[in-house]
Amino acid sequence: MTAAAQFLPAARRSKRMNPARWGLYAFIFITALYFLLPLYVMVVTSLKPMAEIRQGNLLALPMSPSVDAWVKAWTSACTGLTCQGIRIGFFNSVRILVPSVAISILVGSLTGYALSLWRVRGANILFGAMMVVAFIPYQLFIYPLVRVFSFAGLGQSLLTIVIIHTIFGLPTMTLLFRNYFASLPVELFKAARVDGAGFYQIYARIMMPMATPMVVVAVILQTTGIWNDFILGLVFAGRDNLPMTVQLNNIVNSTQGERAYNVDMAATLLTALLPLAVYFGSGRWFVRGIAAGAVKG
Amino acid sequence: MQKSDVDIRSLQIGFGGLKVLENLNLHIAKSEFLVLLGPSGCGKSTLLNAIAGLIDVKGGEIHIGGRDVTGAEPKDRGIAMVFQSYALYPRMSVRRNMSFGLTVAGTPRDEIERRVGEAAQMLRLTGLLDRRPSELSGGQRQRVAIGRALVRHAGVYLFDEPLSNLDAQLRAELRVEIKRLHARLGATMIYVTHDQIEALTLADRIAVMQGGVIQQLDTPKKIYREPVNRFVASFVGSPAMNFIPGRITRDSGVEFIAGKSRLSLNGYAFCGQPADAPAVLGIRPEHIELTASDDPSSVSARVEMVEPMGADTLIWCRLADGTAFSFRHDADAHVRVGDTLTVRFPADALSLFDETSGQRL
Ligand SMILES: Nc1ncnc2c1ncn2[C@@H]1O[C@H](COP(=O)(O)OP(=O)(O)OP(=O)(O)O)[C@@H](O)[C@H]1O
Ligand SMILES: [Mg+2]
């Protein structure tokens, strides 16, 4: 409730609870419950031993909480033929994530910067069209892309999946940065030209330092998008580089005998940890970045 | 620092189908302070950007310091520029803002430090060098922008309405500062404004522009006293020049007839031979004089409004035939609305314009 109060203007508001306010809080409470309940169930289940889970008391707190399931999920759960836990997938995902995020932001900001200088009539319509393209379901492109990559001799590899993520991130990244750079006064660019800076110097020394909020937004968008990806990783990464999401699926679906709910839950939570951390850690930056894009620099 | 002259030869600039400048010629001498004055959209910034090399030229040539720079990069033209919106680099300190251009050019570190220190001292920025632009007031920001131009030790300084975002008092302060800088550096300066006070106070010469064409290029005094056409006459001067329609006759000496009033034009320097024709008489409010009622060249007018302006008073009158005009008088004048005054239009302070073409006669 204090968090909600922060968004109210500084001017004094009536602190009395009127019916509308009750309704609002009830709505917020129910919504929060709706989203938090599954998370709660997952956390408590992951901390229970199987004996306790079998009693079927879904909402009960664990009587003897233990992190055994977490350890097992991390180090020894079976993901198909090997049984080394989900950590393999975690490190695969990190190896895919870091270069993909870095390269897609680098390329996207550079193309966005170049396009922001291109101020012709109809440019906005063109970029609107680009945004639409960004929303075409990418399943449509998978088969052609598989052909293109095998033709180019790249096949399935870490490099392939990084290129794929860069390509699919490009429209969004380009537009994000183009719109930000286009909102800056042209005179800034002119001043830098008079100072003798070239295209890349202006990009690196003036434009990018100003675009920090945009970079944060881009990192959040790309990190969560790439981390959560399943199908592209499955198709393009190759056997040795399968991302965490794919490994998680293998753990959950390849159990023999009794289903180890606690391990499944722990593995799922481990997989969700990074996007969760990103959201919690950067929510404020995210809002600030969006706002910085909306007003003139 | 090397001072350069600027020579613009039949310059043409357009955006798509829109022709902004057409066949513009202008020569700016070494160490001259030239002001480009004109209404919004007349092409002042376009001309300045062309000199700086920031927009493409469709035709013509630009020479700076005797060198043809028409196709040269801005940094290779020996120019520095101050922008209307300051255009400071927001993530750099004042010091880095001023030194950025020199760093890019690979100037030695101690030389950079010396120049930045010198400019900062000239502009009273020494205590602010480590601040970010967002931590400065508008006037300080504009001084940083000027400092960034100064450290370049350029031959030509270009200013695009540098003071228009400031309040009246700061504007007056910085105006004096710029004038002092010009006297001290002796550099060539081209200064765009649509503020005529700035133009009149700063300029060695003023180029009054309209619709991409230089209407008149002359000293402030000439522009003020002898405007070449009605546009220049009405654009320069505040309160504005009065215009009285009538005609010129040569029945008994050259006279101007407006309604029933006759004014002797004896003493007016005609550009050519005066002819009997309709014309417009222009006179500045401060050139109209009160006079005794038996003066033969006087006219009488009724006072309609009195505007005290501090140092003096602006009095709005109407002639018998209905033409309104204003004139300036001492602040202590005892003039009331409804009074009838007798005024004189001295022939040597008049401007006469052709009724149709608007050209000075
Ligand atoms: N990039 C551009 N694209 C198209 N037209 C332009 C462009 N820049 C300027 N113009 C047009 O050129 C003309 C001259 O513009 P310019 O900016 O030189 O005017 P200005 O005299 O500086 O006016 P102001 O006092 O308002 O700054 C205007 O009609 C303007 O609309
Ligand atoms: Mg302008």
Question: Tens of pLDDT along chain B (361 residues)?
Answer: 578 899 999 999 998 888 999 899 999 999 999 999 999 999 999 999 999 999 999 999 999 999 999 999 999 999 999 998 889 999 899 999 999 999 999 999 999 999 999 999 988 899 999 999 988 988 899 999 999 999 999 999 999 999 888 888 888 888 998 999 999 888 999 999 988 889 999 999 999 999 999 999 999 999 999 999 999 999 998 888 999 999 898 877 888 888 778 888 888 888 888 888 899 999 999 999 888 777 767 888 899 999 888 888 999 999 888 888 998 988 777 888 888 888 888 888 889 999 888 899 8
Judge contact between A249 and A93, C-beta under 8 A.
no
Q: How far is CA A287 from the centre of its chain?
A: 15
Question: Using CA atoms in the order B342, B347, B349, B352, what is the torsion angle rounded to 10 degrees?
Answer: 110
A297 contacts in chain B (CB < 8 Å): 90
pLDDT-above-70 percentage for chain A: 89
Residue-level pLDDT at A104: 96
CATH of the domain at B123: 3.40.50.300
Q: Taking CA atoms, what residue in B is nearest to A184?
A: B87
Residue ID of nearest Cα to ligand 1 atom 18:
B43
Q: Is B361 within a domain?
A: no
User: Ranked by mean pLDDT, which of A16-25, A128-137, A188-197 comes out on top?
Assistant: A188-197
* Gap between the Cα atoms of A248 and A92, Å rounded: 12
Residue ID of nearest Cα to ligand 1 atom 14:
B43
Residue A49 sits in the same domain as residue A172? no
Q: Is B267 within a domain?
A: yes
Q: What is the pLDDT of residues A78-113, one digit of tens each?
A: 887 788 888 999 999 999 999 999 999 999 999 999
Per-residue pLDDT averaged across A132-139, rounded? 81
Residue A62 sits in the same domain as residue A97? no
CA of B46 to the centre of ligand 1 (A): 6
**Strand order across the beta sheet in which B67-68 lies:** B18-28, B6-15, B59-64, B67-68
Residue B74 sits in the same domain as residue B213? yes
Q: Is B299 within a domain?
A: yes
Residue ID of nearest Cα to ligand 1 atom 6:
B15
Mutate which of B46, B48, B191 for ligand 1? The one with the most ligand atoms within 8 Å of its CB, which is B46
Q: Is A57 within a domain?
A: yes
- Whether A297 has its CB under 8 Å from any CB of chain B: the answer is yes
Residue B107 sits in the same domain as residue B210? yes
Residue A46 sits in the same domain as residue A177? no
Question: In chain B, how many domains are there?
Answer: 2
Ligand 1 atom index nearest CA of B49: 18
Q: Is A127 within a domain?
A: yes
Residue A36 sits in the same domain as residue A148? no
Residue-level pLDDT at A5: 46
Residue-level pLDDT at B34: 96
Q: Is A74 within a domain?
A: no
A4 has a pLDDT exceeding 60: no
The length of chain A in residues reads 297
Amino acid at A186: V
Residue A121 sits in the same domain as residue A240? yes
Domain boundary among B218, B235, B252: B235
Residue ID of nearest Cα to ligand 1 atom 25:
B40
Residue B274 sits in the same domain as residue B342? yes
* Gap between the Cα atoms of A237 and A257, Å rounded: 30
Residue B247 sits in the same domain as residue B227? no
Query: Are B81 and A192 a contacting pair at CB < 8 A?
Result: no
Residue A41 sits in the same domain as residue A114? no
Query: Are A201 and B104 a contacting pair at CB < 8 A?
Result: yes
Domain boundary among B235, B267, B286: B235
This complex has an ipTM of 0.85
Ligand 1 atom index nearest CA of B16: 4
Q: Please, what is the angle between helix A158-182 and helix A123-134, to 10°?
A: 150
- Nearest one of B143, B150, B151, B136 to B171, comparing CA atoms: B143
> Ligand 1 site: residues with CB under 6 angstroms?
B 15, 18, 20, 38, 40-46, 194
Residue B81 sits in the same domain as residue B51? yes
Query: Are A191 and B104 a contacting pair at CB < 8 A?
Result: no
Residue A148 sits in the same domain as residue A212? yes
CATH of the domain at B256: 2.40.50.140
How close A195 comes to chain B (CA, Å)?
4
Q: Taking CA atoms, what residue in A is nearest to B149?
A: A195
CATH of the domain at A116: 1.10.3720.10
Q: Is B1 within a domain?
A: no
- Nearest one of B255, B226, B256, B230 to B242, comparing CA atoms: B230
Residue B95 sits in the same domain as residue B225? yes
How close A52 comes to chain B (CA, Å)?
58
Q: Taking CA atoms, what residue in A is nearest to B105?
A: A196
Residue A47 belongs to domain spanning: 16-66
A188 contacts in chain B (CB < 8 Å): 87, 89
Domain boundary among B213, B235, B257: B235
Rama region for B298: left / alpha / beta (φ>0; ψ in -120 to 50; rest): beta
Residue B197 sits in the same domain as residue B252? no
A201 contacts in chain B (CB < 8 Å): 104
CA of B160 to the centre of ligand 2 (A): 7
Residue A154 sits in the same domain as residue A194? yes
Q: Is B360 within a domain?
A: no
Q: Is B359 within a domain?
A: no
Judge contact between B328 and B286, C-beta under 8 A.
yes
* Gap between the Cα atoms of B15 and B1, Å rounded: 35
Query: Are A195 and B104 a contacting pair at CB < 8 A?
Result: yes
Residue B208 sits in the same domain as residue B249? no
Residue-level pLDDT at A296: 35
Residue A33 sits in the same domain as residue A136? no
* Gap between the Cα atoms of B11 and B345, Å rounded: 42
Residue B133 sits in the same domain as residue B66? yes
Residue A118 sits in the same domain as residue A60? no
Residue ID of nearest Cα to ligand 1 atom 7:
B15
Judge contact between B151 and B1, C-beta under 8 A.
no
Domain boundary among A33, A66, A99: A66
Q: What is the pLDDT of residues A169-217, one digit of tens each?
A: 998 899 899 989 988 888 999 999 999 999 999 999 999 999 988 898 8
Residue B249 sits in the same domain as residue B130? no
Task: Tell me if the bond preceding B239 is cis, omega within 30° of 0.
Answer: yes
Residue B193 sits in the same domain as residue B309? no
Q: Is A82 within a domain?
A: no
Helix runs in A135-243, H state only: 139-151, 158-182, 186-194, 199-202, 208-210, 212-228, 231-236
Residue A107 sits in the same domain as residue A199? yes
Query: What is the CB-side half-sphere exposure of residue B268 using CA atoms within 13 A?
Result: 28
Q: Is A76 within a domain?
A: no
The residues, any chain, with a CB within 8 Å of residue B174's CB and separated by 6 or more, are B139, B142, B143, B162, B163, B166
Q: What is the DSSP letter of B29?
A: -
CA of A120 to the centre of ligand 1 (A): 15
Residue B223 belongs to domain spanning: 6-235
Question: In chain A, how many domains are there?
Answer: 2
- Whether B75 has its CB under 8 Å from any CB of chain A: the answer is yes
Residue A243 sits in the same domain as residue A121? yes
How close B102 comes to chain A (CA, Å)?
8
- Whether B101 has its CB under 8 Å from any CB of chain A: the answer is yes
Residue-level pLDDT at B1: 57
Residue B76 sits in the same domain as residue B32? yes
- Whether B151 has its CB under 8 Å from any CB of chain A: the answer is no
Q: Is B303 within a domain?
A: yes
Q: Is A5 within a domain?
A: no
Q: Is A3 within a domain?
A: no
Q: Is A155 within a domain?
A: yes
